[in-house]
Amino acid sequence: MIKVGLTGGMGSGKSTVSRRFAGYGALIVDADAIAREIVEPGQPALAELSERFGDDILNEDGSLNRAGLAAKAFTTAEDTAALNAITHPRIAERTAERFAQAGAADIVIHDMPLLIENGLTEDCDIVVVVHAPEDIRVQRLAEARGVDEDDARRRIAAQIDDEARFAAADVILDNSGSEEALLAQVDDLWNGRLLPMRDAVI
């Protein structure tokens, strides 16, 4: 098995890259999807969150109200620590389950925005960073997803910077041009590096 850590700033193009890898047959471990799964109705983490932060973090249908949780959980460091203590072990457990499903010949892509921040790069065979300049990312997020520009810039400012990402990267995919140009780099990476790496270990 080859473990690929895929990361990059908000709106850099991680999902676009990940979809291309999936098309090649890679197994995708999507950190954002896992973070949503563990707080679905019926999951123990959701019950613990409502016990800790109150029922107004729930919608009427019992699902998690994300804005309600954010308002409660990001007010003090203690609240944020409580949120993390409830969610992080579940996320880690489910992530490990996904990796355990991989066979020896699999190339597994860990699509993880906080890969570097959470110190997970050591566990990867190769770290791939998707990069695009901030102005381009903000413009794409505003156009494609209707994200508020100031909000996007605030969130980007709260993330680690490009220098820190480059320092952790084995490969940098440049997404400052067209999607086709990005996908061509993904194809080269898959064929020129990941498949040979995988073939060397099976």
Contact positions vs ligand ATP (CB under 6 A): 8, 10-16, 113, 140-141, 144-145, 175, 178-179, 182
**Two tokens, residue 40:** 């679905």
Min dist CB 160 to ligand ATP, Å, is: 13
Min dist CB 67 to ligand ATP, Å, is: 17
Sheet holding 126-131, edge to edge: 27-30, 107-111, 2-8, 126-131, 171-174
Min dist CB 82 to ligand ATP, Å, is: 25
Using the minimum distance from each CB to ligand ATP, give the nearer residue, 58 or 116.
Answer: 116
Using the minimum distance from each CB to ligand ATP, give the nearer residue, 12 or 87.
Answer: 12
User: What is the number of the residue whose Cβ is closest to ligand ATP?
Assistant: 144
Task: Annotate 4-16 with DSSP letters as a single string.
Answer: EEEEESTTSSHHH
Using the minimum distance from each CB to ligand ATP, give the nearer residue, 123 or 151.
Answer: 151
Min dist CB 199 to ligand ATP, Å, is: 28
**Two tokens, residue 186:** 């993904």
Any bridge partners for residue 6, and if so which? 111, 128
In one letter, which amino acid is 79?
D
Using the minimum distance from each CB to ligand ATP, give the nearer residue, 61 or 145.
Answer: 145
The CA distance from 55 to 72, in Å, is 11
Any bridge partners for residue 126, and if so which? 4
Min dist CB 113 to ligand ATP, Å, is: 6
Local structure of 110: helix, strand or coil: strand
Using the minimum distance from each CB to ligand ATP, give the nearer residue, 148 or 199.
Answer: 148
In the chain the first and final C-alpha atoms are separated, in Å, by 8
